[in-house]
Amino acid sequence: MTQNTRIFCLSLLASQVLLAGAPALAQSDNYPSKPITIVVGYPPGGSTDLTGRTIGVELSKRLGVPVLIENIGGAGGAIGAQKVANAAPDGYTLLAGANNEIAISRLVSAAVKYQLKDFTPIGLIASQPMVLVASNKSGVKSVDQFLSLVKSNPGKYSYGSSGVGTALHLAGEMVKDQGGLFMTHIPYRGVAPLANDLLGNNIEFGVFVLSSGLPHIKSGRVVALGTTEVKRSAVTPEIPALAENPKLKGLDINVWFALMGPAHLPEPVLAKLKKALAESLQSPDLRKKLEESGSAIAPLNVDMAKFLTEETAKYQRIVDFAKIKE
């Protein structure tokens, strides 16, 4: 092969590589040109579903295409999250997820195969605390009474959550750890059966997401002992933060919601999604709807890599303490 022939072949190969990448670049530049699907890993009606649908409406306005919600329940949100992790990185399949399926599930279940690296974080949407409640039969009206009663009767009392390895379970284990308590965790298949047993006085204590617990608290059918963020919720300033008690100082865990895409989203697509999300979070309609449900809108420009690393480390400590593993 002559030198000229070699140069010609190399040039032809380079041209082919550039042409092969051209459609992908063009697609990124034209994004979005068709409907976007947001996967929610739970059935309709819960806090993650409400958050996903609310942000979907606002994203549709700003991106100029329909945004569809696909509910894929199962495995604490992990089945839906896995679908997004496996999706093409083109920006047309996204996840509106909570910390449970994004950061916790893989720490407690060997069946969960995805890792954080399998997603592209777009941004935080909102967060809300959980709330520790007591049944009326327990007679407990305050955090001090709760700590005194459980501490003096190790192993006698139980608390319920929406399932093993959920954020509600981890919040309960944090209370046990910091309070030096011995009580039994009762996992339920979701919030509804947990609520039934608390309202029926079949279990003494439970942990709810604030939005799920509020109707029962306001009706007087359960007693709110404290919320799980370090400060009181603006939605329920009358309910103390558990961290206000010296024995639970520093207790800080919540449920947060984030918009995620598959790994390796093209930079132009990611930039458009981040811009649309930031603008959506300024919408008065969105803020009103989410705040009324008990959520606080996430601050702008959160360093997602740092945030997810810190959150995962916090959950890992709780998982190790409680020896949670499925």
pLDDT score for 42: 85
How far apart, in whole angstroms, are the C-alpha atoms of residue 234 and residue 243?
A: 15
**What does the pLDDT average to over 116-138?**
97
Instruction: Using alpha carbons, select from 281, 326, 293 the residue that is nearest to residue 125.
Output: 281
pLDDT-derived band at 46 (thresholds 50, 70, 90) equals: confident
* Residue 162 pLDDT greater than 90, yes or no: no
Average pLDDT over residues 91-102: 96
The two tokens of residue 107 are 């720490």
Q: What is the per-residue pLDDT across 249-302, written as a single tens digit (0 to 9) for each?
A: 989 999 999 999 999 999 999 999 999 999 999 999 999 999 988 899 999 889
CATH number for the domain running over 28-128+256-322: 3.40.190.150
Top-level class of domain 130-248: alpha beta
pLDDT of 86 higher than 80: yes
**Which sequence spans correspond to the domains of the chain?**
28-128+256-322, 130-248
Q: Is the pLDDT of residue 15 over 70?
A: no
Q: Calculate the average pLDDT of the chain.
A: 91
Q: How confident is the model at residue 74 (pLDDT cuts 50, 70, 90)?
A: confident
Predicted structure pTM score: 0.84
Question: Stretch 175-186: mean pLDDT, rounded?
Answer: 96
